[in-house]
Structure 1
Amino acid sequence: MRFEGTSAYVADKDLMVAVNAAIALERPLLVKGEPGTGKTELARQVASALGLELIEWNVKSTTRAQQGLYEYDAVSRLRDSQLGDDRFNDIRNYIRRGKLWEAFASDKKVVLLIDEIDKADIEFPNDLLQELDRMEFFVYETGETIRAVQRPIVIITSNNEKELPDAFLRRCFFHYIRFPDIDTLTRIVEVHYPGIRKRLVEAALSQFFEIREVPGLKKKPSTSEALDWIRLLVTDDVAPEDLRGEAKNALPRLHGALLKNEQDVHLFERLAFMARRNA
């Protein structure tokens, strides 16, 4: 079982090596990188390429590790006992399976995505150490142990918002997705927009990388934002010559697709003003 990329996802050699190493070691693959570099999409493409089901667990700031295992609804059971409902007699009626339980219970190998693990509390990764290492957990309410029928392929993404514990990192195979260079990003654009005008892509990406290199930029535009911007340029039928003719520090046209806060917009406005004054 090897991942060799898909026609819908541009994966470099190092990324494919990382995925296959994690599969061979049967360890979680921890993927870091700038937002918009395709970390979440990687799990979907691995599942697609290997013909496996994908189970997604999207982590939020309020997510607890226990929710990934199961949740016991004691309130509903108490209410049913007061109403004389027969469901009360079987505690299993009040246990809601989490995403890890779904993955462990599957008769077939699946891909389990734990997305943006760094959004949760700092103890969240530690609370999953044993479960991800042993691929089992204990259900206290029923006294049963849930073990993985088929060890899932676990892919964990992080945007580096906070440091992850060393004990958790030791149990993962790590890969950092570097921001693509202009040749790789050109291939990504062609995958998403086949047949797009090459001269427009060339001019747009040249300007895009110039924008990313502007000193003082608070948030550099990502791969996904580049794709949105190019789509808008195509929709507005912008000529490559118009993009090449724009001043380097001028506010880019359709800049709302690239610049996502007022500080960066004001930065380009100041740069454009200074360039006009010095002309």
Structure 2
Amino acid sequence: MKFQSTAEYVAAPELAVAVNAAVVLGRPLLVKGEPGTGKTELARQVSASLGLPLLEWHVKSTTRAQQGLYEYDAVSRLRDSQLGDERVHDVKNYIRKGKLWQAFEAPSRVVLLIDEVDKADIEFPNDLLQELDRMEFHVYETGETVSARQRPVVIITSNNEKELPDAFLRRCFFHYIRFPDADTLAAIIRVHFPDIKEQLLTAALTEFFAIRETPGLKKKPSTSEVLDWLKLILAEDLAPADLKRDPQHLLPKLHGALLKNEQDVQLFERLAFLSRGQR
């Protein structure tokens, strides 16, 4: 099994190498990169490329590692005992399997996405060390040990919001998704908009990279944002000439798809003001 670009996803050669290396080593692939560079989508495309089912575990600030293994619903068991429900005699009726448990007991190999691991508490990655390393865990309520039938392909994403523990990093194969160059981004856009005219694509990319490279920009627009922008451009049937920015305010057409905070909008307004003052 080897991962490669799919009809819907353009994977840089070094990214494909990283995925395949992690699969061979049997280690989780830790993927970092700017928001919007396709980290989450990577897991879905690896699943499609390798023909494996996908399980997604989206981490939140309140997520605990235990939830990935299982949760024991003691409240429901107490309620059932008060109602005289026969289910109360079997503790297994109150065990809720987490995504790791589901991946371990799956009849065939799966791809497991642990998305945005850095959103949770700093102890979250450490709490998963043994389970990801040994591919097994103990269920204290039932006394059973759950072991993986087949080692899942584990893809972990991070937006670099928190530093991850060294012990966790040692157990992962790491890859940083760099922002694509103009040729790669053009290839990505053609996958999503196969009928786009080359002149419009060239004009859009010229404007996009000029915006992205503006000094002082707080939030650089990402791959997902340029795709949204182009979708609007095509919906409005704009021509290449329409994308040229007005020197009076310098904001791009449909700038709400690219600029996501008031500081960056104000930056372009200040640049336009300075430009007018120099005339």
TM-score using structure 1 length:
0.98
Match of 2:44 in 1: 44
Structure 1 regions of 5+ residues with no counterpart? none
Q: Note the C-alpha offset of 1:245.
A: 6.0
- In the TM superposition, structure 1's runs of 4+ consecutive aligned residues that sit over 6 Å from their partners are none
Q: Distance in 2 between matches of 1:130 and 1:107?
A: 22
Q: Note the C-alpha offset of 1:238.
A: 1.3
- Where in structure 2 are the equivalents of 1:83-162 lying within 5 Å? 83-162=83-162
Give SS of 1:206's match: helix
CA contact 2:244–2:252 (8 Å) conserved in 1? no
CA contact 1:2–1:50 (8 Å) conserved in 2? yes
Match of 2:189 in 1: 189
Q: Note the C-alpha offset of 1:164.
A: 0.3
TM-score using structure 2 length:
0.98
Give SS of 2:118's match: helix
Match of 2:65 in 1: 65
Q: Distance in 2 between matches of 1:43 and 1:147?
A: 23
- Matched to 1:91, the amino acid is V
Q: Note the C-alpha offset of 1:275.
A: 1.1
Match of 2:2 in 1: 2
Q: Distance in 2 between matches of 1:185 and 1:111?
A: 26
CA contact 1:249–1:275 (8 Å) conserved in 2? no
CA contact 1:225–1:258 (8 Å) conserved in 2? yes
Q: Distance in 1 between matches of 2:217 and 2:110?
A: 40
CA deviations 1:155-194 (Å, max 9, x no partner) are 0000011100000000000000000011110000000011
Q: Note the C-alpha offset of 1:129.
A: 0.1
| Same amino acid, percent of matched pairs | 73
Match of 1:269 in 2: 269
Q: Distance in 1 between matches of 2:4 and 2:63?
A: 33
CA contact 1:54–1:113 (8 Å) conserved in 2? yes
Structure 2 regions of 5+ residues with no counterpart? none
Q: Note the C-alpha offset of 1:248.
A: 10
Pairing 1:203–2:223 present = no
Supply the RMSD in Å over aligned alpha carbons. 1.1
- Where in structure 2 are the equivalents of 1:186-265 lying within 5 Å? 186-244=186-244, 246-247=246-247, 250-265=250-265
Q: Distance in 1 between matches of 2:244 and 2:120?
A: 43
Match of 1:33 in 2: 33
CA contact 1:210–1:248 (8 Å) conserved in 2? no
* Matched residues, number: 279
CA deviations 1:202-245 (Å, max 9, x no partner) are 10111111111111111001100000001111111111022246
Q: Distance in 1 between matches of 2:273 and 2:249?
A: 9
Q: Distance in 2 between matches of 1:171 and 1:250?
A: 47
Give SS of 1:157's match: strand
Give SS of 2:146's match: strand
Give SS of 1:37's match: coil
